[in-house]
Amino acid sequence: MIAKSYITSTLFELDKLYNNSTSQKKAIYFSKLALIELCGWIEETLDDIILKHANRHLKVPSNKAYCLVSIVKPNYGFEYKKNVRPMLISLLGLIEVEKLEKELEKTAQVTLLKGYLGNIKDSRNIAAHTHLKGVTRHFNAPSRTIGDFNRISVILEQIDKELRTK
């Protein structure tokens, strides 16, 4: 089971602050923060899924350490092809990842996850690499980020569930 209560409360609090904000600038701050919080949660959750699966199946301490130091720690990001899939391949092997993806794709979960993560990455990059001076930028309201969270968390839970059956 993946942890969701803290990020859920954080996103709802940011949505409340956004809705009660007294300026456009504050609303943008809360929108950007909600997006960045979601992205951090996605990265940490993916790391956690990998590490928990490793700890369930690896018996040799040096292999567990390898998983942390060589698979999880050097990974900064949450793009499916660039970050998620390579971590899975490093831990499970290509044959098992192909089986996992085939199972998930019965309900288009991999395709959906790629799209959701790609869209969020683009928005996150804009939020993280711009500031508010000058051009007024548009960012999705925290309520939209909550919707993204709900869609992504379901798929991450499915990945975790599939890994638990292996």
Q: How confident is the model over 125-137, as a mean pLDDT?
A: 72
H-helix or E-strand containing 28? Answer: helix 24-57
Tokens 């060589």 belong to which residue? Answer: 70
pLDDT at 134 over 60: no
**CA-to-CA distance for 71 and 86, rounded, in angstroms?**
8
**CA-to-CA distance for 99 and 67, rounded, in angstroms?**
21
- Looking at residue 45, what is its pLDDT? 97
At 139, the pLDDT band (50, 70, 90 cuts) reads: confident
Closest CA to 127 of 141, 146, 143, 148: 141
Are the C-beta atoms of 88 and 50 separated by less than 8 Å? yes
pLDDT digits (tens, 9 = 90+) for 68-115: 999 999 999 999 999 999 999 999 999 999 999 999 999 999 999 999
The amino acid at residue 147 is: G
- Looking at residue 159, what is its pLDDT? 97
